[in-house]
Chain A
C-alpha cells in the first residue's frame, strides 16, 4: 500500500514537471505551424539561407543598417529599442584619406557590415576596433570570413543570396528596394554614394529575426510532416497527465486517503487570495524585465522571466491542489464563505426556541412583504411576481408543517387503536417535529415489544401446562383403570363400594379438569388454529339443542327457541362454535333451577347476530358477572358437582378468538349470556 501511495505521488510530481515542458513544446509547435513560411521551401528541403524568409529578413536588416548609418552620421541622438546612442560613442580611426567610424554599440543583430561613403570618404562599421580591424582591408576580410554576404559596389550587387541579387533588388535613395518588400525610403531626397559590405555571421550570436526564423524554419524542416500527429499526441499527453496529477494529489506514505494540511483547511476564498498574491509576485518578476539588447541581458531577462513563470506556475499548482483535495474529501463547498455563513445562521436559528423562531420568521416575512410592496409601488409587475413567490414559499413552508402534524396525528391515532406497527420516517416530518416522531416510534416499539413479550409468556405457559398435563395423564390412566378393575372385584361391605364410587368420580373429574386446563390456557393464549367456515346459526342452535334435549328433560327444563324468519350465516370455526354452546348448555343443565324454562333467542341487528340464552339459577348468584368469567370460579359455593370452573372462561376466549363478543348479565337469579358475531 505504502509503495503504491509513494508511486502515485512520484508520478504526480513528474507530471508537474512534464506538464509545462510539453505545454511549451506544444505552444511552440503550434506557433511554428501557423508561421508564414512557404511550404514549398520546406518540401524542397532548401537551406534556410535560400528561402524568401531569410531574404526578406536580410533585406530588412540591410535597410535598417543603411537607415541607422544615415542618421548616425548626422551626429543626432537616436533611439534604438529605447536605448540612446550618440555618435560620440563611436571610435574614429583613419585609413589613409578615409575615416572609419566604429559603431560597435550597434552589434544588436547577426549582421556585420561596412558602409563607405565614396563622396565624403567616411566609412562606418559595427565591428569593434582592434588590430584585426584597424584598416578597411582587414574589416573587409573580417566580413568576408562569413559565408552569406551581400555587397554593393559601383552599382553592382554581389551576393550569395539569389533573391537579393541585381535581378531582384535595387539600391535607390540610400536604401534598397526589393520586389516583394518595400524597404527603401523613397521620399528621401538625399542620396549617398555608398559602397556596402554586409555579411551574416556564420555562428548566429544574437537573438534577432534571422535567428528566430532559422530556429522555426529548421524545426519545421524536421517535424513538418509529423506535426499532424505530434500536436494531437502532445495534446493527449497533456490530457493524460491531468488524471495522474489528480490521483496523486493528497497522497503520501504517512496517512491513507487524502492528507490535508493547514492550507487545505482554511476558507477556499482565502486560499485563492494567497495563491493569487504569490502569482502576483511572479508577475512582478516578469514585468520588471523591460528591455533586451545584448545576449547577456537576454539570458538575464530570460532567467528572471523563468523564475517569475515558475512562481506563477507554483501558485497555480497550489490552488489547483487544494481545490482537488477539497473536492476529494468533499470539503470544497463546506470551506466556502457562503457555506460558513449558512452554517452560522443555521446554528443561530437552530439554537432558538420554537417560539422565538416563530417571531423571527414572522418578522422576516413582514420585511420581505414590505420590500415586495415597495417594489410593487415602483414596478407593478415585478413587485407582483415577488409577492407571489414570497407567498408561495410561505405556503410551502406552512404546508410541510401541517402535513407533518397530520402524519403524527395519524400515527398517534393508530397507536391509540392498538396498532403498534407504525414507523414514522424522519424525512417525512419537518425538522421541528422530528423529535416527536422519534419518540412516537420509541413508544410504539416499546408497546409492541411488551405485547409480544406477553404473548410469548402466554405461549410458554400453555406449553408448560400442556406438558404437565401429559405427565399427569399417565398416572391418572392407571388410577382410573385400577379403580374400574377394583369395582369389578368382589368387595366386602357397602362402605368399600361407596368409597370406590367416590374415587371413580374424583378421578373422572381430575381427567376433565386436566383436559379443560389445557384448552383454557390454549384459548386464552390464542394458540389455536381456526378453520373458519360459513355457518348457519339456526342449524347450529338446532343441533346443539338436540344434543342436550335428553339432559334438559332429565332436569325438567324446557327450552324455548326463537329465530328470525331468515337464515343467518356467520364466519366461524364449526368445532369451536360447538364448544362454546356446549359449555353454555351443559352449564344450564347443571346449574339451572329444575322445572323452569330456558330461553334461547336469536336476533339479527345491524349486520350482527345475537345469541341470547336465559335461565334461572338453582343457587343464589352472589358474585359479579366479571368474577364469574374468571378461571376456576363457579357460581355456587360447593364444589361437589362435576366441571372445572373453566367453562365460561373457555367459551369467552374462543368467542373472542373468532372475533365475537361474549357477555354475561346477572339480575337476581336470572342468568343471561349474549354471544355476538358479525353476519355475512
Chain B
C-alpha cells in the first residue's frame, strides 16, 4: 500500500484525484495548501509520492517543493493550469520530477503516478539488470534483445518486428538524432526511396505504444525537420 499526498486548493479536484488513485489501490492523504502539505509530511514519514498544485494560497507549489527537497527525495508531480514552457521549466527546476497540466487526462495522470512510484520503490533492482548483455535501456524503457521483449514502466509492450528494430536501433544509440533516411539505411540496410514516409508512420505507432502521452513523448522524441531520437535518461 503506497501513500500519496494530494495537495490542491480546489477540493473537488483533490476529491476526483482521490477517486481515480484509490481505484488503483493507493492510499490518499489530502492537503489544500502548501502549509498543510508540509504539516502532513512532518507527521508522516511513510509517503511515497506528492501531487502538488502550483497556484495555492498561503504557500505556493514551487516554494513547497523547494522546502520538501531540502530533506526529502519523495517524487513530486506538479499539477498546474500554467502550461507555458517556462512554467514547466520552473517547476522541474524547483524539485518536481514530472509536470502535468490542467485539465489533465485521468489515465495519463495515473500512468505517470504509477511510473514515478515504480521508479522510486524499485530503483535497486534496475541496476542489476543493466549489467546484462543484450539489454538496451533509457529510463524505464528496457529492451531485452535476447527475449525480444520491450518493457515501459515495468509493463510489456507489443511491437511489430519493424517497430522493434527501429526502437532497438534508436535505443542502442540513445541521445543521437537520426533522420528518416539514416534510420532506413541502418534498419533495412539498403537505400531509401525519396518520398518514403513509412518510417514516420512507424515512429508514430511506436510512440502511441510506449508513451503515456504521444503528443508529449518522454522517450521517443521528434525533432521536426531534423529527425528522431531516444532521449538519454538514467
Contacts and interface: CB of A to CB of B under 8 A. Distances in A.
B12 A539 contact: no
Interface string B12-23: 110011011000
Contact of A476 (B84, B102, B195): B102
Interface in A458-492: 466, 469-471, 473-474, 476-482, 484-485
B33 to A, nearest CB: 15
Given A473-B103, A535-B226, A578-B224, A478 B13 contact: yes
Contacts of A485: 16, 19-20
B161 interface: no
B29 interface: no
A542 B203 CA distance: 12
A511 interface: yes
A572 interface: yes
B200 A547 contact: yes
B96 to A, nearest CB: 18
A262 B35 CA distance: 84
Interface in A483-519: 484-485, 507, 511, 515, 518
Interface in A555-595: 561-563, 570, 572, 574-575, 577-578
A480 B179 CA distance: 39
Contacts of B81: 469-471, 473-474, 477
A574 B224 contact: yes
Interface in B186-200: 194-200
A543 B180 contact: yes
B224 A542 contact: no
A561 B195 contact: yes
Interface string A536-561: 11011011111101100000000001
B233 interface: no
B225 interface: yes
Interface in B37-58: 55
A428 interface: no
B191 to A, nearest CB: 15
B10 A481 contact: no
B204 interface: yes
A474 B13 contact: yes
Given A477-B10, A477-B103, A511-B103, A535 B225 contact: yes
B197 A542 contact: yes
Contacts of B203: 543, 546
A533 B16 contact: no
A572 B10 contact: no
B170 interface: no
B61 to A, nearest CB: 13
B41 to A, nearest CB: 24
Nearest to B79: A477
Contact of B16 (A478, A544, A546, A550): A478
B195 A536 contact: no
B157 interface: no
B201 A477 contact: no
Contacts of B204: 546-547, 549-550
Contacts, number: 115
Contact of B199 (A469, A482, A546, A570): A546
B67 interface: no
User: Which of A477, A478, A480, A507 has the most chain B CB atoms closer than 10 A to its own CB?
Assistant: A477
Contacts of B222: 543, 578
A106 B39 CA distance: 134
B134 interface: no
Contact of A549 (B195, B201, B223): B201
A484 B224 CA distance: 34
B200 A543 contact: yes
Contacts of A537: 225
Contact of A540 (B17, B103, B224): B224
A145 B224 CA distance: 137
A507 B105 CA distance: 12
A470 B102 CA distance: 9
Contacts of A575: 224
Contact of A474 (B102, B194, B225): B102
Contacts of A473: 81, 83, 101-103
A600 to B, nearest CB: 10
A156 to B, nearest CB: 133
B197 A549 contact: yes
A536 B199 contact: no
Given A476-B103, A542-B180, A536 B226 contact: yes
Given A481-B13, A485-B16, A561 B197 contact: yes
B118 interface: no
A519 to B, nearest CB: 10
B82 A478 contact: no
Nearest to A529: B85
B82 A539 contact: no
A577 B196 contact: no
B106 A572 contact: no
Contacts of A563: 194-195
A445 B198 CA distance: 56
A616 B200 CA distance: 25
A479 B198 CA distance: 39
B106 A545 contact: no
B13 A539 contact: no
B2 interface: no
A533 B226 contact: yes
Contacts of B198: 546
A543 B224 contact: yes
Interface in B167-193: 179-181
B87 to A, nearest CB: 10
B104 interface: yes
Contacts of B181: 539
A563 B202 CA distance: 21
A4 to B, nearest CB: 64
A563 B180 CA distance: 15
B167 to A, nearest CB: 15
Given A535-B225, A542-B195, 6 more contacts: A470-B82, A476-B103, A518-B83, A543-B224, A577-B224, A577-B225
18 contacts: A473-B102, A477-B13, A478-B10, A478-B12, A480-B103, A482-B16, A484-B106, A515-B83, A539-B226, A543-B224, A546-B203, A547-B200, A549-B197, A561-B195, A561-B197, A562-B195, A575-B224, A578-B225
Instruction: List 5 A-B pairs, minimum CB-CB distance, nearest first.
Output: A546-B200, A535-B225, A540-B225, A473-B81, A578-B224
Interface of B: 10, 12-13, 16-17, 19-20, 55, 81-84, 101-104, 106, 179-181, 194-204, 222-228
